[in-house]
Each structure stands twice: as C-alpha cells, then as structure tokens.
Structure 1
Amino acid sequence: MWPRRVVLGAAVLPFALLVPRDAPVRLALPASAAAAHERPRPVPRGAPQPAIVSRAAWHADERMVREPAVYTGPVRAAFIHHTGETNDYACADVPRMLRSVEESHIEGNGWDDIGYNFLVDRCGTIYEGRAGGIRRSVRGAHTTGFNADSVGIAVLGDYGSGATVPPVLVRALAKVAAWKLMPGVDPRGTVRLVSTNDASRFPKGTAAVLPVISGHRDAYRTDCPGEALYAALPAIRAATAALRKGR
C-alpha cells in the first residue's frame, strides 16, 4: 500500500500507462445524422439506469475536452479494466482522482477526453467518464481495436493477485453492464467483433469472438484488469444477467 500522501500525487502516472494509446477515430456522419449528433436521443435499455455521479458533480474540466462525443452503434460488449494504483484511497477523494485521470488522458495521451466511458470506485459508486455516454453509445479509448459498439468500465485501484473484489464492486459493474448492453444480448454469452487496430490481440480486420463481458486482457496484451478482477468476471456476468432477467 502507498502512503496516503502519495496516492493522489501519483494518480496520474498509472492511468497514463494502463490505457492503450488508441485515440478515438471520428465517424463521418451523413447530414441526416447531424442533428442526432448534437441532440442525443434515448436508446432502448436492457435494465434501468443506475445512479451515476455526473461529470458536473465531480467537476470535470470541460474546457480541456478537445472534441464532442462520437456516437456509435448499440453496445454489444463491455470491457472491464482496473486503473492500477493503490486501493488505499478514501472514496471522498475520488473526484480529485478523476480530474487527474482527465488531465492524464487529454494532456498526457493526447485524447479528446477520458478513455473510459464509466469508472467505479471501491465503495461501489459509479462515475460518468467520457462525456455524452449516458443517453447514447459513445466511442471511447479504452480497448485498442474494439472501442466502437462497446462500453469501457474501469475500477479505480489495483486488482492483481491477492486483491479482494468486494460484492458491492461486482454489483456496481453489473449495474452498468446490464443497463448499457443492448436488449437481447446475453451477458453470459459471446459476441463477434471486428478489430480496427493491429495493436490489439487481433490484427485489423480480424473477426474476434469474445465474451460479451470481457476483461481488457481478452482483447489487448496486458495484465489488466488484474488477476482478482478477471477471476470475478463470471460473478459479474451472472449478476448482470440477473439484473436483466424478465426485461
């Protein structure tokens, strides 16, 4: 564990290292889609929206954002990440940590905005990451080659071997996945996605069959989301399926 005084000051570096450098590619929208780009419309959901701490609430610096959100198709897959820094943080400090993530991803990585669509802290609180993704499906920069038609959810902390994944965290991840995945998708099943980047585990243009709820390592050569969180994926899938049952 890191000393408390080191946690916030060192938060920027791990975030910068753990997210692959796969900046979002803007989509060419026809004129008929321009209005939808500016005025997002609600899409069907497989489960109710959970409580989410908005960017306004954690005081995101919107002046830093370089481009507006790029909308993609319905969410067909969820990728689970961990951010890799210490777990010894007070949940009251998370807004400050998120502002460090924002600065790291935009100023450090050169991205338009935060790479992750949503983040979850160790207390089970869900935060809005990349802007625009609550009402629509927004292309992130979370999983090289598979950022479109997917949602990236990152857990603040290190969930490597020996870490404990609390039930409240499993529940929070399941709530986001159950809400964001398009209706009809089985959270315990698989999905066929085509890679858009040679830097992923699958060369560009290759069709990959992945779990609907995958760990970052399933699509990219990394230890993320850590051994403990990766081992919890079956529980996350089961909890997501239970939340969507009967809807």
Structure 2
Amino acid sequence: MFKIVTMRGFFSPSLGSSGSFRSLGAPLIATVLALSSLSLPATTVTAVPAAPVTGGIPGSTRSLPLAPLTRARGLGAAPEQGVYRADGERFSLLGVVWDDPGAELRGRIQVRTRAAGTGAWSGWQDVETHNAGHGPDPGTAEAASPRVRGATAPLWVGASEGVDVRVRAASVRLPDGTRSAGARTSVPLPSGLRLELVDPGDDGTPPGAPADAPHTGADTAAARAASAANTDVAGFGALEIPELDKAATERELTRLKGPARTASYIGARPRIVTRLGWGADESLREPGFGYTKTVRAAFVHHTGSGNQYSCSQTPSVIRSIYRYHVKSMGWRDIGYNFLVDKCGTVYEGRAGGVAKAVLGAHTLGFNSDSMGIAVIGTYTETEPADAVVTALARLTAWKLGLNGADPQGRTYLTSGGGNLYRKGKNVQLNVVSGHRDGFATDCPGAALYARLGAARSAAADYQGR
C-alpha cells in the first residue's frame, strides 16, 4: 500500500534567502542549480561536501510524571493526578501522554501556566483529551513502534516557565443488577500519565532579520533529503514553494505527470512554506519517507491547540507540534501533510515532497491514498477566517488536481480500521472531508466543518470546473 524511501547524502551548501546558495565556487554553483531544477527520483545521491552551517537554538522536551493529588474515597470519588512547578520549566506548548496508545483517557484535564517574563499565572484552560483519531493506521510499522503513546491534543500556551496541571477521572453510573446499582464510580485513568513540556527553540534566523532572511538550520543528511524531495517544484534549499498562475501550473502538471494530463483540471499552485522555511529539526524524525499510491481525498483537521497565537508565531507552533508528535507521541514525523494558520498561510507538513503522495498519520484508518490538512487552532466554536477557507480551497484545488480528483466529488477509500468503519470496508467519502467523516471525533470542530462546503465549491472553481 505504501513504501519507505531512504535518501542520503544530497548537496549541503549554505542556504541564502529564497533558496539561493552562498560560499560556493562558480562551477559548483552551476552544477547545483542545474541539478536542483530536475525532477529527481527518491534514491541515493552522491554527497557534495560544503562548509558547515550554524544551527539555531534547538528545541527541547521535558517529561514530568503525574502524581496522585487525592485518594479515591468511596464509589463517587474520582481520583486526580497532577503536577505543579512554579518556575524553572521553559516551554510554549504542552500535552499529556500515557503508556498504552489504545487506552482512552476519560476525564478532564485542566492547566494553568506562568508566563515567562511577567510571572503572571493564566486562568485554568481545558486540554482536549479526545485525540485518538489522529495517528498511523493500525497494523502499520509506524503504529506498531514501541515508542508510540496515547496522548491528548497539544495546547499552545506561549512562552511559559511554570505549570500546574490537574487530571480528574470521569465517573459512570453502575448498571442495574449490580450490588451498588445506580451509584457512580470513577473510570480508571491510563497508566504512565506524564506532562510533556515542549520548547520550540528557534529556527536560526537572527533576531530582527527580514522575513526572507536565510534560515541556518543544522546541515544534515536528513535536512538535505527533505529539501531534495521538493526539487521537482522548487530549487534545492528553498524556504518556500512559490505560487504559480494557472497557466504555469498546467505546464508544471504536464512536466510532472506527462502529456496525457495536460487537459486535467487543476488550480493554481499556492505559496507553501517549506520545512526549512519553518525551521524543522530534521534530526528528530525517522530517516526516509513513506509514500502511498495517490491522493484521492483530503481530510481537514484542526490541531485543537487553541487560538492564542499570532501568525508570526506559526513556525514556532509548528515546530512544537512536530516535536510533540515525534518525541512525545512516538510517530515517525509530524502527522499532517500540510498545515494552515489562521491568516491563511500554507506550510509543508510531513517530509517527502509537497507534490508527492506522502503517507501521513492524520486520519486513523484512512491515511492511505489521502492527505491531511490541519488548520492550526481550535474551531469548535471559533469561526475560521475567510483566509483559512480560501487557503483550504487553493491547496486542495492544486494538490487534488495533481491527482485528477474533483474537490466536489466523492470517492472510495478502504478503511484500515477505526471506530466508524471496520478494517477492509470500502467507504464512500467526500473528496474533501472532515476528520469526523472517517472517525468518530469532534475534529475539525463544528465551526470549521460547517465551512467545508464553501471550500469544496471554491476549489472546484479554482480548478475550472
């Protein structure tokens, strides 16, 4: 159903703004630029040595075990666990994980944080506990990894240095026929509860530098491979995939897919910030890339991480979610194929090439032959901005167009197993679906889900249908 491709030893020049190269001799510059314009297969390429690149400040993850706060006394008492740190913990995003990825946390998690700098404590916030529908499909190597954990959604809290977390188990009424019928008892909490505190670090861009200043992330084989995976649509080392008009996109479609696809419907390619552009630490993820056969559907998500971020903070938010998915939850890479912030900027997610059918870990049971797009934030009640809907429409018009799919159509996907459809069931879904269409979940939030019809219609218009 999918394949893992390993790439090693690609070029390692110093990167300038917009993917240009610095500190290279003229012959090598010509060679690199010529090769970067080719559509390269995912394979092993001979390395070209270059001067080392200085990295930014690396991120970090601190894992704190939760301890009992109260003892359950009687059938109606719900046990609580938590942790309190008044200072000394530098982080911007948090979440709670536990040992068994198949276990469900039934209860409520509340957190307050102490802001770095001011020292002021926030009010109590809820952490979204229902996150099981995100992840690799059952039976896959990624899902079977012993590193995989159960987890809440991540919560972005901004620069913080103190934290107070309380986890309270839910209670249920005992059924008729039992000795204590009608009484309430608490549901056991999953074992191994830990609070994950994530510091995104920085991307190496000097403070006060212009937006197009060169990022100076670590120059590794993994970083070169991630950048090389996009050389079919951009120069090697690009900080962004530039937008194209419709005519140029159609010419690119012919180049990528062959003359038979010249007449296909496709929307103009939107601007996409690459992993290098948002400062991904490529040493975190597993090496190589996973691919599926095609992209027949797009699942729209929200990250459930809250809306208290500015668009200038988006790269930090994405670096934090990436680190949480990999270091805390045990996935091989960030789960989503693309992310969209509340200003409508599109970001590359899981590595492997934005124009390729990269296998994600976004919609449990339906990761094959699909892509996952996460809108950063929580849209249970908050209305997404028009810029978000436009970004979803433009992205799906282009990426689905590359694969011959109609955004307003329906398609069949085979379930890999989940809580709505058994493994092996052939399920008809909208080509542009919400996460809840493939898994019983609130994601992508009622407010965002209600806008998917508008996104589908706009995407079909962009394709020229």
Taking structure 2 as the reference length, the TM-score comes to: 0.46
The residue that corresponds to 2:133 in the other structure is 20
1:146-194, Cα deviation, whole Å (9 max, x unpaired) = 1011110000011112x12211110101111111114542211211111
Q: 1:166 to 1:220 in 2, by over 3 A?
A: same
How many residues matched?
227
Q: Say which SS state the counterpart of residue 92 (structure 1) adopts.
A: helix
Q: Does 1:181 align with 2:380?
A: no
Counterpart-to-counterpart distance in 1, 2:435 and 2:314: 22
Q: Is the 8 A contact 2:359 2:368 kept in 1?
A: yes
Q: 1:127 to 1:201 in 2, by over 3 A?
A: same
Q: 1:191 to 1:243 in 2, by over 3 A?
A: same
Counterpart-to-counterpart distance in 2, 1:90 and 1:39: 29
Counterpart-to-counterpart distance in 1, 2:439 and 2:304: 16
How far has the Cα of 1:87 moved from its partner? 1.4
1:10 partner amino acid: L
The residue that corresponds to 1:68 in the other structure is 288
Alignment equivalent of 2:390, drawn from 171, 174, 177:
171
Counterpart-to-counterpart distance in 2, 1:19 and 1:67: 25
Alignment equivalent of 1:224, drawn from 440, 443, 449:
443
Point out which structure has higher relative CO (alpha carbons under 8 A, 6+ apart). 1
The residue that corresponds to 1:9 in the other structure is 92
Counterpart-to-counterpart distance in 2, 1:49 and 1:12: 35
Q: Is the 8 A contact 2:267 2:459 kept in 1?
A: no
How far has the Cα of 1:21 moved from its partner? 5.3
How far has the Cα of 1:88 moved from its partner? 2.5
Q: Does 1:92 align with 2:205?
A: no
Q: Does 1:129 align with 2:212?
A: no
Q: Does 1:49 align with 2:269?
A: yes
More strand by share: 2
How far has the Cα of 1:205 moved from its partner? 0.3
More helix by share: 1
Counterpart-to-counterpart distance in 2, 1:149 and 1:104: 25
1:93-132 to 2 correspondences below 5 Å: 93-132=313-352
The residue that corresponds to 1:3 in the other structure is none
Q: Say which SS state the counterpart of residue 224 (structure 1) adopts.
A: coil
2:338 partner amino acid: F
Q: Say which SS state the counterpart of residue 196 (structure 1) adopts.
A: coil
Q: 1:173 to 1:21 in 2, by over 3 A?
A: closer
Q: Is the 8 A contact 2:269 2:395 kept in 1?
A: yes
Q: 1:48 to 1:60 in 2, by over 3 A?
A: same
Q: Say which SS state the counterpart of residue 78 (structure 1) adopts.
A: strand
How far has the Cα of 1:9 moved from its partner? 2.1
Counterpart-to-counterpart distance in 2, 1:90 and 1:57: 17
Q: Is the 8 A contact 2:293 2:357 kept in 1?
A: yes
Q: Does 1:214 align with 2:433?
A: yes
Counterpart-to-counterpart distance in 2, 1:58 and 1:158: 21
Counterpart-to-counterpart distance in 2, 1:15 and 1:140: 21
Counterpart-to-counterpart distance in 2, 1:11 and 1:244: 39
Q: Does 1:245 align with 2:464?
A: yes
How far has the Cα of 1:49 moved from its partner? 2.0
How far has the Cα of 1:23 moved from its partner? 2.6
Q: 1:234 to 1:127 in 2, by over 3 A?
A: same
Identity %, equivalent residues: 44
Counterpart-to-counterpart distance in 1, 2:341 and 2:135: 24
Q: 1:200 to 1:181 in 2, by over 3 A?
A: farther
Counterpart-to-counterpart distance in 2, 1:181 and 1:115: 19
The residue that corresponds to 1:35 in the other structure is none
How far has the Cα of 1:12 moved from its partner? 5.0
The residue that corresponds to 1:31 in the other structure is none
Counterpart-to-counterpart distance in 2, 1:117 and 1:87: 21
The residue that corresponds to 1:148 in the other structure is 368
Q: Which blocks of at least 5 consecutive residues in structure 2 are unaligned?
A: 1-90, 97-126, 143-227, 233-255
How far has the Cα of 1:47 moved from its partner? 2.4
How far has the Cα of 1:26 moved from its partner? 6.1
Q: Say which SS state the counterpart of residue 384 (structure 2) adopts.
A: coil
1:58 partner amino acid: W
Q: 1:207 to 1:120 in 2, by over 3 A?
A: same
How far has the Cα of 1:39 moved from its partner? 6.9
How far has the Cα of 1:132 moved from its partner? 1.3
1:20 partner amino acid: G
Larger-gyration structure (1/2)? 2
Counterpart-to-counterpart distance in 2, 1:204 and 1:99: 33
